[in-house]
Structures are given as structure tokens and as C-alpha cells.
């Protein structure tokens, strides 16, 4: 089989320090920014939906896998990015959504989940059975995780319409929590090399016992912890010296690279080091909506300077009011006194704000913001005060002073760092 993702993996295993970043977001503006970046890079875009966002029942976004596919492909089509340059992935597919149920029920739901993703044309499937179910006496070990992952892979193989639609897989037992750590982080130890080898051995054996040895040849990546993570206020930076033994684990595996989760907020140099050290798939999610929120709130600050009080959107205040009215998505994650919680609701690296953008009141406020600024000329010094990088591109004639364009470009500031890390032939002087 051939695909742009598989080509990247093959090039990396042949000795090129190339990789791919995976956009883990369902927000239309983030997806549009990713498509625009792929067009500028003359490459492809890898977009992944998580099992929390998108499932056979709709997930928290209200989208099934086929709905998500239509969203992404619709955005790509509007901008002229061909479908064969769009790779869709499913992230953390397993019993996570149903972990409060007994394993039998949770895994039955997980099988339906995987089947729905594959049937919708998702080409990259992350099999994540690392979490315990209600009747598991302890945290599942490698053997049980691998057995459950192979069960889901067998379901995926059956769901593939023909050989060309059979997916690529990602496996692993040391899987970081989606969306960043919930607790305050201390020191973070990379996965021991021995543990990574055991994980691989268990999964290969489980695939064989499930009668899907051929599918093992399409396992392209192993999720391990390279020692990167973020919590509400801290980023744990990559230290390559700590992974010297771990990164040799895949030397004898001709079709396998590492996949790194929670790479958000790493420095450009760290991202490049990760790719060079065989983390050829870099996952990014909260950083993208964090950057989008920065741009939206910057535009709201500009609005305050230009628009009479009664006509303003008041977007940050509307977001705060809705988060307080519906605290389910943040209250378990943001501890402290009311002032600390207020700051975290707005500025935390974990970016729990991202769950609230579809809220109708917030959407209405955003539309007012866009309308207000579209009707007014933003003085260049005011733009430079709040969005200095976008101001510089406006000065160079590379960017229009339109609210949506400014937000897309701010999100692309993050994507540019990933693009450069994954494609060493690109240069920093691109638009």
C-alpha cells in the first residue's frame, strides 16, 4: 500500500530525519489553519479525532467519524487541497469513554468505535487499551493491553472494505493522558528501554494469536514517553540525553517509529530533536486552540479601543460567564482560590476553554467581534501592540487585516514550528 504517511515513515527509517505532525483538534479554524499550512508546505495534513471528541454516538463535539471526515474534507476542498493529501486518524481508540463499565461492555463499545472510524475512511488508528475498566482489579499490564488492542485491530481489519483501505496502526501501553496532565507535574522519566521492548513483544504476539499477523506489518508507531508533558502552568522540556537507550529500541524494527504525545509548547529546537531521535510522529492539540484563544482575546482588546461599549462583543466576559455556568469541563482540573481558578480558566496550558467554543452564546459573541472589526480599520500600531507577529506580516504584504485571517495566522505560528521540525528542507522565511 502507499500513502503520504507511510512514505514519511519509510523515509525516516531509511535515514532521513523527517517526520509528521498530527493536528488533534476538531475546531474548524484550527483545521483550516492546518490545511493552509499543508498547502504552503506543498505537503499533506494529518488530522486526528480523539475518542472523546468523536465516536459512534457523537462524542462531546456531536460528530460521528463520518461527520468529522466531512468537516475536514469540506475545509480541504474549499482551499483546493486534494483528498489524497489529507490523512485522517483516530486517537486513543479503545475503552476510554466507557471505562466505568465492565470490561466486556466497554470493549464491545470500543469495537463499534473502531469499526465506525475505519468504515469512515480513517487511515491511522491509535489502539489505546491502557486504561482499566470497572471490573479490572488493577491497572492492565502489557499482556492484557496487547490482547485488547489486537482484538480491536481484528475488528478494524474486518471493517476495511478492501486491502487498500486497511489502516495503519499505533500501539503502546505508556500512553500520556489526552490533553495534558491533570495534576501538577514533578520530574518526568522517559519510558525505560526494556519496558518498550516488552510492549512491542506483547503486541506482536497478541496480533499473531488473534490471527492478524499481516496487520502487524502495518503497525507504524509505538507510543512511549520521551519525557515531555505539560500541566496547567508548566512545560516539561525534552532532554535528549535521557532517551539515549530508549531511542535505540526500534533499530531492528524496519517499519516502526515512535509517536510522541503531549508535545504542545515544546521549543522549536526540542521538536526538531524529537524528530531526529525517531519520534517521527508529533501530536499537538491544546497548543493550537490556546493560540486561537490568544488571537481572539487580542482582537477583543483591539475591539475595546475602537468600538463603543454597548456595541462590543465582550467575548472574554461571555466565555467566563459560560464557563462558570457550565463548570463540568474545568472544575476537576483547576484547583485553588477563585482568583487562581479565574486565571487558569483563561490562561492554563491545558486550555479547557477549547470545550466551550461551540457554545451558542460564545459563538454569537465571536460573530459580533468579527463583524465589528470587519467594519473598521485597525490602526497598524494598535495591531502591532496586540498581535506583533501578524503586524509584521501585514507590513510585508503577506497577510490581510481581516479577523479570521489574523486568527488563522496566529494558529499557523504554532504549525510553522512543527512544519520546520518535521521537514528540515523547509526554511523559516516562508510566509
Instruction: State the sign of the Cα–Cα–Cα–Cα dihedral 169, 173, 174, 175.
Output: positive
Q: For 279-307, what is each residue's pLDDT tens digit?
A: 999 999 999 999 999 999 999 999 999 99
| Whether 284 contacts 23, CB under 8 Å | yes
Please report the pLDDT score of residue 146 as a whole number.
98
* Nearest by Cα to 344 from 358, 329, 357: 329
Please report the pLDDT score of residue 181 as a whole number.
52
User: What secondary structure does DSSP assign to 354-383, as a single string?
Assistant: GGTTT-HHHHHHHHHHHHHHHTSPPPHHHH
Torsion angle, alpha carbons of 183, 189, 190, 194, to 10: -120
Q: For 340-369, what is each residue's pLDDT tens digit?
A: 999 999 999 999 999 999 999 999 999 999
| Whether 1 contacts 163, CB under 8 Å | yes
Res 183 pLDDT > 80: no
Please report the pLDDT score of residue 173 as a whole number.
82
* Nearest by Cα to 283 from 266, 297, 300, 269: 266
SS3 state at 149: helix
The average confidence (pLDDT) of the chain is 95
Res 159 pLDDT > 60: yes
Please report the pLDDT score of residue 185 as a whole number.
62
CA distance 413 to 311: 31
Res 69 pLDDT > 70: yes
Cell numbers standing for residue 403: 479577523
Go through the domains of the chain in sequence order and give each one's CATH number.
4-284 (3.20.20.70), 290-409 (1.10.400.20)
What whole-number percentage of the chain has pLDDT above 90? 93
- Measured N-to-C along each axis, helices 103-119 and 65-79 cross at an angle, to the nearest 10 degrees, of 30
Higher pLDDT, 375 or 397: 397
Q: For 191-234, what is each residue's pLDDT tens digit?
A: 999 999 999 999 999 999 999 999 999 999 999 999 999 999 99
Please report the pLDDT score of residue 431 as a whole number.
46
Res 179 pLDDT > 60: no
What whole-number percentage of the chain has pLDDT above 70? 96
Q: For 263-277, what is each residue's pLDDT tens digit?
A: 999 999 999 999 999
β partners of residue 281 = 20, 259
Amino acid at each position: 500500500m502507499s500513502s503520504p504517511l507511510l512514505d514519511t515513515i519509510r523515509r525516516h527509517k531509511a535515514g532521513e530525519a523527517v517526520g509528521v505532525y498530527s493536528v488533534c483538534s476538531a475546531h474548524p479554524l484550527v483545521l483550516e489553519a492546518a490545511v493552509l499550512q499543508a498547502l504552503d508546505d506543498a505537503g499533506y495534513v494529518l488530522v486526528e479525532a480523539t475518542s472523546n471528541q468523536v465516536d459512534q454516538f457523537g462524542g462531546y463535539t456531536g460528530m460521528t467519524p463520518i461527520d468529522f471526515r466531512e468537516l475536514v474534507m469540506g475545509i480541504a476542498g474549499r482551499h483546493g487541497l486534494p483528498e489524497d493529501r489529507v490523512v485522517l486518524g483516530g486517537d486513543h481508540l479503545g475503552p476510554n469513554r466507557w471505562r466505568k463499565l465492565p470490561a466486556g461492555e466497554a470493549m464491545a463499545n470500543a469495537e463499534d468505535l473502531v469499526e465506525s472510524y475505519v468504515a469512515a475512511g480513517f487511515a491511522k488508528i491509535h489502539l489505546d487499551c491502557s486504561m482499566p475498566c470497572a471490573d479490572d482489579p488493577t491497572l492492565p499490564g502489557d499482556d492484557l493491553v496487547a490482547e485488547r488492542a489486537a482484538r480491536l485491530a481484528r475488528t478494524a481489519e474486518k471493517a476495511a472494505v478492501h486491502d487498500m483501505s486497511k489502516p495503519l496502526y499505533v500501539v503502546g501501553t505508556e500512553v500520556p493522558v489526552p490533553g495534558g496532565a491533570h495534576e501538577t507535574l514533578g520530574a518526568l522519566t522517559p519510558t525505560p528501554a526494556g519496558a518498550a521492548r516488552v510492549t512491542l513483544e506483547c503486541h506482536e504476539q497478541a496480533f499473531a494469536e488473534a490471527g492478524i499477523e499481516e496487520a502487524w506489518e502495518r503497525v507504524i508507531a509505538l507510543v512511549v514517553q520521551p519525557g515531555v508533558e505539560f500541566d496547567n502552568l508548566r512545560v516539561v522540556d525534552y532532554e535528549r540525553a535521557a532517551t539515549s537507550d530508549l531511542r535505540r529500541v526500534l533499530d531492528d524494527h524496519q517499519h516502526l517509529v515512535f509517536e510522541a504525545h503531549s508535545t504542545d509548547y515544546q521549543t522549536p529546537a526540542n521538536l526538531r530533536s524529537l524528530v531526529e531521535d525517531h519520534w517521527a510522529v508529533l501530536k499537538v492539540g491544546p497548543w493550537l486552540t490556546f493560540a486561537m484563544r490568544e488571537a481572539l482575546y487580542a482582537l477583543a482588546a483591539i475591539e475595546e479601543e475602537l468600538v463603543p461599549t454597548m456595541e462590543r462583543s465582550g467575548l472574554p466576559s461571555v466565555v467566563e460567564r459560560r464557563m462558570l455556568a457550565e463548570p463540568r469541563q474545568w472544575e476537576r482540573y483547576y484547583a485553588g482560590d477563585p482568583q487562581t481558578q479565574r486565571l487558569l480558566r483563561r490562561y492554563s496550558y491545558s486550555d479547557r476553554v477549547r470545550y466551550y467554543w461551540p457554545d451558542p452564546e460564545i459563538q454569537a459573541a465571536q460573530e459580533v467581534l468579527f463583524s465589528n472589526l470587519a467594519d473598521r480599520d485597525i490602526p497598524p500600531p494598535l495591531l502591532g501592540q496586540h498581535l506583533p507577529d501578524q503586524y509584521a506580516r501585514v507590513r510585508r504584504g503577506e497577510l490581510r487585516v481581516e479577523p479570521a485571517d489574523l486568527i488563522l495566522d496566529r494558529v499557523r505560528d504554532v504549525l510553522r514550528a512543527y512544519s520546520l521540525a518535521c521537514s528540515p528542507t523547509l526554511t523559516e522565511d516562508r510566509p
